[in-house]
Amino acid sequence: MNKHTLIILFAFLLGNCITAQTILGVDVSSYEGTINWTSVKSAGYSFAFAKATEGVGLTDSYFVGNEVNGTAAGMIMGAYHFAHPENNTATAEANYFLSVAGPYIKACHLPPVLDLEDPS
């Protein structure tokens, strides 16, 4: 057998042994209001990213509640920062994010995420 045939055979065998699985998650912020995390979990979602901060001065008012209540409902949680690099330095934004979300960045949580969008 040549290398190409072995790769195809391996992929065929692997494909017959492993079934695909969809893992559902959401991202949330104050725009969604108060979330019933038990209902989210019951609907089949297993993880969520909660907005923590934006720029260098906005803390999402629902962040702590989302982190605490999502975790209590059995969700795997993570925090995200909405960046404004057109107005601030990366260091200033990272420091602000860590000042708010730092206590929620820990083992068994999702890694922090940066939401970077084109402002135009």
117 is a catalytic site residue:
yes
pLDDT attached to residue 15? 57
Single out the catalytic residue among 54, 86, 117, 118: 117
| Mean pLDDT of each 10-residue bin along the chain, 120 residues long | 50 57 93 97 96 98 98 97 95 97 92 89
Write the CA distances from 93 to 59, 116, 118, 120, integer angstroms. Answer: 12, 12, 16, 20
pLDDT attached to residue 11? 54
pLDDT attached to residue 18? 59
118 is a catalytic site residue:
no
77 close to 109: Cβ distance less than 8 angstroms:
yes
pTM of the model: 0.81
27 is a catalytic site residue:
yes
Element holding 107 (H helix, E strand): none
